[in-house]
């Protein structure tokens, strides 16, 4: 359909009188701007302005909303010298790596299993695996606090049944594992809890992408003698690449924004801040501490980290934006 | 050895046996078994949640799922007769105490508040937020999909770039902006900044660009106004994406904790996640009550999900071409 039709310049059988027509044209031209105006207004007030405001704030020390004082780069030097910040950064990065390298392949695998033709229970499986996403992070956090309690916790029980026989008779039983009290087990606990919540969500995206893969291509590859692995690598994967890139980028951003789940899971930040995320660090120093400027500086560091990771990801995947 | 290991061994044996008969069926069998067990594992916490919500507070940590049947009803005979265990036996190990406690009117600094109030808060916030986002995002998406105008390419590029800025960066400055606007402790602080979603605009742009231009043109010739074309001709054709977007948006708003935690102060304005979190704060450890509340909090999203399930999957299938 031509652009001319869209802007109303083409001759329409019932052409109105000339000044009425030019009014109609103006209206046509204004309509998209009118439709986009809520976006423009809200973006200016709550996006563009805050982004620059955050940049300014990062150089100030603020005392809540009451007062502020210019302190130059002090916020940044304090943050970068703070051991808690590096703990938070390390935790969040570990989390992001695991959620990309462990959770996404599992999601893709499940999506591929679901995508096979003729599986009758498909709808039910899809429903079951997606359903955890209906539960909010706060609720998941507290539920998993209880799953990870020693002895009667669901997860410990399950682990004991599954792997109890591996351990020698003198080893500590899995039932006694205090996941949330042990520095080294806190991050695995967070990763497991988020897996329950997000595997199904990402699976839906992959499933949608897989359903759009041209089956005749796979058929052709099969006839040419490609085995399942080669079919996957050379046909399926390139076909779902745009969606896969999107999911990877979004999951990275989401991982670095993690806060609510670990915060409620641990009712704080865990032993030795072992479960503190960058947003958690911002929350405790910026909002609870009342120094919004400090929070803004943390926000900018986090943004730069995320942006550079995303750039590398987009470079690696070879897709430009969109 | 326990039943779990035995059944895994059995399934493995079946798989190996089938490999001799037909490799294709063996793999198909393995796939189905994997899906079945993953589904079971993913659903298990829900079953646990239902059990936990009805368990007595003393029984909560004593059994993984349900107490023995003989302990279910009130007035059973406990093994040891201590005052505490007798009292607990009087209540029964399964009861409605958690829900009763939850719905007990509590005194707050804003006067007495009933739990129904928080449910209404959450429902109001989530439904209003979803409606606003739906209208404004779909209007924006329609404008980008079906109008040619100067600056369109730039707007799209700007939106894409803005998607990569994490929301957390905006939190500190928005806190001050909201304060200066005088929106602190008001729902405006939560509803208005989130009233347009760039993600939503893209979703709708993608879906609406698939709507044939002829339909829109026909509407124009028939004398439809532009807004009427959007509302009565275009929107009904992208129903799946509306369903998908509503669900995602409702979930985000219904379950959000950080925003209300920062912007709301009055107890009687809080939504469910924030209120329930108070039951397990520093001064309380009423896990049973929290879990009863969780069970209630899951119901609205679950209803919405079942109602929109078909649209949700179809909508994402349509939207997935983006990326």
Which residue has better confidence, A218 or B174?
B174
Angle at A82 between CA A77 and CA A88, to 5 degrees: 120
Residues B185-203 have pLDDT tens digits of: 999 999 999 899 998 999 8
Helix A83-98 crosses helix A292-317 at what angle (to 10 degrees)? 30
- Contact yes or no for A208 and B319 at CB 8 A: yes
- Probe site for chain A from B67, B152, B168 (most A CB atoms < 10 A): B168
Summarize pLDDT for A116-152 with one digit per residue, the tens.
866 667 888 888 999 999 999 999 999 999 999 888 8
Residue linked to tokens 């209540």: B91
- Nearest CB to B174 within list A33, A50, A200: A50
Q: Rounded CA gap, A108 and A102, in Å?
A: 10
The number of angstroms, rounded, from the C-alpha of B94 to the middle of its chain's C-alpha atoms is 28
pLDDT of residue A3: 40
B153 lies within 8 A of chain A by CB: no
Mean pLDDT of the residues in chain A: 86
Q: Which chain B residues touch A157 with a CB distance below 8 Å?
A: 64
Closest CA to A139 of B125, B290, B87: B290
Beta-strand ranges (E) seen in B194-292 are: none
Cα separation values, A36 from A4, A27, B218, B269, Å: 21, 14, 23, 31
Chain A residue with minimum CA distance to B50: A143
pLDDT band at B322 (very low <50, low <70, confident <90, very high): very low
Q: Which two tokens stand for residue B202?
A: 């893209």
Is B179 an interface residue toward A (CB < 8 Å)? yes
The whole-angstrom distance between A32's CA and the closest CA on chain B is 5
What pLDDT sits at residue A11?
43
DSSP letter at A120 equals T
Q: In whole angstroms, give the CA distance from residue A47 to residue B3.
A: 56
pLDDT class of B174 with cuts at 50, 70, 90: very high
Which chain B residues have a beta carbon less than 8 Å from that of A7? Answer: 147-148
The pLDDT of A100-113, averaged and rounded, is 93
Residues 60 through 99 of chain B touching chain A, CB cutoff 8 Å = 61-64
CB contact under 8 A, B172 and A253: no
The model's confidence at residue A297, banded by pLDDT at 50, 70 and 90, is: very high
Instruction: Return the pLDDT at A153.
Output: 86
Res. A10: pLDDT tops 50? no
Q: For residue A262, what are the CA distances in angstroms to A29, A82, A190, A278, A281?
A: 49, 21, 6, 11, 12
Instruction: Provide the pLDDT confidence category of residue A17 given band limits of 50, 70 and 90.
Output: low
CA atoms within 13 A on the CB side of A233: 5
Within an 8 Å CB–CB cutoff, is residue B186 touching chain A?
A: no
Residue of B nearest to A134 (CA): B301
Mean of per-residue pLDDT scores for chain B = 89
A115: tokens are 């995508």
Q: Distance between alpha carbon B98 and the CA centroid of its chain, in Å?
A: 22
CB B63 within 8 A of CB B308: no
Contacts of B131 (CB under 8 A, 6+ apart): none
d(CA B215, CA B233): 7
Distance CA A86, CA A216 (A): 50
Would you state the structure tokens that stand for residue A271, as one six-digit string?
Answer: 């032993």
Residues of A in contact with B322 (CB under 8 A): 242, 246, 322
pLDDT > 70: percent of chain A: 90
Range name among B62-66, B113-117, B147-151, B282-286 with the lowest pLDDT average: B282-286
Q: A8 falls in which pLDDT band (50, 70, 90)? A: very low
Would you state the structure tokens that stand for residue A104, as one six-digit string? 């996404």
CB-based contact A286:B172 (threshold 8 Å): yes
Confidence category of residue A90, pLDDT binned at 50, 70, 90? very high
Half-sphere exposure of B248 (CA within 13 A, CB side): 22
Inform me whether the pLDDT recorded for B73 exceeds 70: yes
Token duo for residue A203: 């699976």
> Is B147 touching A (CB cutoff 8 A)?
yes
pLDDT (0 to 100) of residue B76: 82
Q: Output B240 or A7, whichever has higher pLDDT.
A: B240
Nearest-CA distance from B83 to chain A in Å? 24
Average pLDDT on A284-305 reads 90
**Residue tagged 């949640």 (tokens):** B49
pLDDT higher than 90, residue B161: no
Which of the two residues, B304 and B311, has the higher pLDDT score? B304
For tokens 């329950």, the residue is: A196
pLDDT band at B178 (very low <50, low <70, confident <90, very high): very high
For residue B39, CA distances in Å to A132, A159, A190, B97, B299 come to 11, 17, 20, 31, 20
pLDDT tens, position by position, B307-320 = 988 888 777 666 55
Q: What is the pLDDT of residue A15?
A: 47
Does residue B118 sit at the A interface (CB-CB below 8 Å)?
no
Instruction: Please answer yes or no on whether A246 and B322 come within 8 Å at the CB atom.
Output: yes
Per CB-CB distance under 8 Å, the chain B contacts of A111 are none
**Segment B91-148, tens digit of pLDDT:** 888 889 899 989 988 887 778 888 999 999 999 999 999 999 999 999 999 999 999 8
Determine which of B37-41, B60-64, B170-174 has the lowest per-residue pLDDT on average. B60-64
B96, B79 contact by CB (below 8 A):
no
Q: What is the pLDDT of residue B270?
A: 93
Of residues B193, B212, B258, nearest to A260 (C-beta): B258
Q: Hey, are the CB atoms on B196 and A283 less than 8 Å from each other?
A: no
First and final CA of chain B: distance in angstroms? Answer: 48
- Once rounded to an integer, what is the mean pLDDT over residues B279-287? 80
Instruction: Write out chain B residues lying below 8 Å of A142, CB-based.
Output: 277, 280, 287, 290-291, 294
Using alpha carbons, list the distances in angstroms from residue A54 to A247, B263, B270: 28, 18, 27
Q: What is the pLDDT of residue A169?
A: 61
B276 to A138: CB separation less than 8 angstroms, yes or no: yes
State whether residue B257 sits within 8 Å of chain A by CB. yes
Indicate if the pLDDT at residue A205 is higher than 50: yes
Residues of B in contact with A283 (CB under 8 A): 258
CB-based contact, B302 to chain A, within 8 Å = yes
pLDDT (tens digit per residue) in A207-253: 888 888 888 888 888 888 888 888 888 888 888 888 898 899 889 99
Cβ neighbours of B217 in A, within 8 Å:
1, 5
A128 Cα distance to chain centroid:
21
**More confident: B184 or B73:** B184
CA atoms lying within 13 Å on the CB side of residue B81? 3
Cα distance between residue B274 and residue B258, in whole Å: 9
**pLDDT average, residue stretch A56-65:** 86
Nearest C-alpha neighbor of B323 from the set B220, B147, B241, B202: B202
Tell me the per-residue pLDDT of B215-246, one tens digit each, with 9 for 90 and over.
899 998 888 888 999 999 999 999 888 998 99
Q: What does pTM read for this prediction? A: 0.88
Query: In the structure, what pLDDT confidence band is assigned to residue A160 with cuts at 50, 70 and 90?
Result: confident
Of A1, A46, A283, the CB nearest to B170: A46
> pLDDT band at A196, cuts 50/70/90?
very high
Distance CA A143, CA B276 (A): 12
pLDDT of residue B126: 96
- Pick the residue with more confidence: B303 or A25? B303
In this predicted structure, what is the pLDDT of residue A305? 94
């Amino acid at each position: 359909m031509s652009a001319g039709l869209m802007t109303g310049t083409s001759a329409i059988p019932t052409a109105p009188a000339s000044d009425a027509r030019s009014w109609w044209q103006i209206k046509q031209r204004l309509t998209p701007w009118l439709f986009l105006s809520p976006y423009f207004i809200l973006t200016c007030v709550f996006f563009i302005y805050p982004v620059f405001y955050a940049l300014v704030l990062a150089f100030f020390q603020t005392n809540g909303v009451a007062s502020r004082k210019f302190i130059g780069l002090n916020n940044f030097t304090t943050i970068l010298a703070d051991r808690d910040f590096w703990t938070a950064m390390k935790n969040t990065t570990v989390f992001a790596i695991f959620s990309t390298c462990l959770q996404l392949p599992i999601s893709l695998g499940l999506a591929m299993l679901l995508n096979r033709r003729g599986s009758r229970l498909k709808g039910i499986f899809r429903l079951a695996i997606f359903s955890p996403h209906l539960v909010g992070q706060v609720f998941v956090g507290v539920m998993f606090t209880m799953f990870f309690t020693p002895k009667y916790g669901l997860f410990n029980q399950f682990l004991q049944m599954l792997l109890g026989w591996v351990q020698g008779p003198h080893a500590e039983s899995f039932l006694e594992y205090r996941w949330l009290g042990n520095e080294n087990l806190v991050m695995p606990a967070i990763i497991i809890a988020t897996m329950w919540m997000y595997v199904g969500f990402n699976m839906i995206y992959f499933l949608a992408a897989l359903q759009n893969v041209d089956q005749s291509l796979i058929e052709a590859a099969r006839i040419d003698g490609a085995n399942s692995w080669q079919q996957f690598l050379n046909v399926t994967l390139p076909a779902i690449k745009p969606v896969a890139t999107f999911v990877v980028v979004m999951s990275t951003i989401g991982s670095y924004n993690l806060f609510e789940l670990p915060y409620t899971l641990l009712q704080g930040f865990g032993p030795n801040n072992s479960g503190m995320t960058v947003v958690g660090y911002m929350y405790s120093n910026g909002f609870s501490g009342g120094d919004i400027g400090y929070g803004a500086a943390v926000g900018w560091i986090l943004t730069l980290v995320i942006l550079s990771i995303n750039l590398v990801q987009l470079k690696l995947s070879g897709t430009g934006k969109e | 050895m326990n039943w779990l290991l035995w059944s895994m061994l059995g399934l493995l044996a079946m798989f190996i046996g089938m490999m001799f008969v037909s490799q294709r069926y063996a793999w198909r069998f393995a796939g189905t078994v994997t899906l079945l067990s993953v589904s079971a594992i993913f659903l298990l916490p829900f079953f646990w949640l239902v059990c936990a919500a009805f368990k007595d507070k003393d029984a909560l940590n004593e059994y993984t799922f349900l107490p023995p049947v003989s302990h279910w009803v009130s007035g059973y005979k406990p093994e040891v007769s201590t005052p505490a265990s007798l009292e607990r036996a009087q209540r029964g190990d399964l009861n409605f105490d958690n829900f009763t406690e939850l719905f007990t009117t509590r005194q707050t600094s804003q006067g007495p508040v009933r739990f129904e109030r928080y449910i209404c808060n959450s429902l109001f916030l989530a439904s209003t937020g979803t409606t606003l986002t739906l209208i404004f995002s779909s209007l924006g998406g329609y404008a980008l999909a079906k109008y040619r105008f100067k600056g369109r390419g730039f707007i799209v590029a700007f939106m894409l770039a803005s998607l990569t800025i994490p929301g957390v960066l905006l939190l500190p400055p928005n806190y001050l902006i909201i304060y200066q606007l005088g929106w602190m402790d008001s729902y405006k602080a939560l509803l208005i900044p989130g009233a347009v979603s760039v993600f939503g605009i893209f979703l709708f742009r993608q879906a609406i660009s698939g709507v044939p231009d002829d339909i829109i043109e026909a509407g124009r010739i028939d004398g439809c106004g532009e807004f009427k074309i959007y509302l009565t001709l275009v929107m009904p054709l992208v129903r799946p994406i509306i369903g998908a977007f509503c669900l995602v948006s409702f979930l985000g708003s219904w379950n959000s904790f950080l925003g209300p935690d920062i912007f709301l102060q009055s107890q009687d304005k809080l939504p469910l996640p924030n209120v329930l979190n108070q039951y397990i704060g520093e001064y309380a450890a009423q896990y049973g009550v929290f879990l009863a509340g969780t069970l209630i909090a899951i119901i609205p999203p679950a209803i919405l999900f079942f109602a929109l399930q078909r649209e949700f999957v179809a909508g994402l299938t349509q939207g997935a071409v983006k990326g």
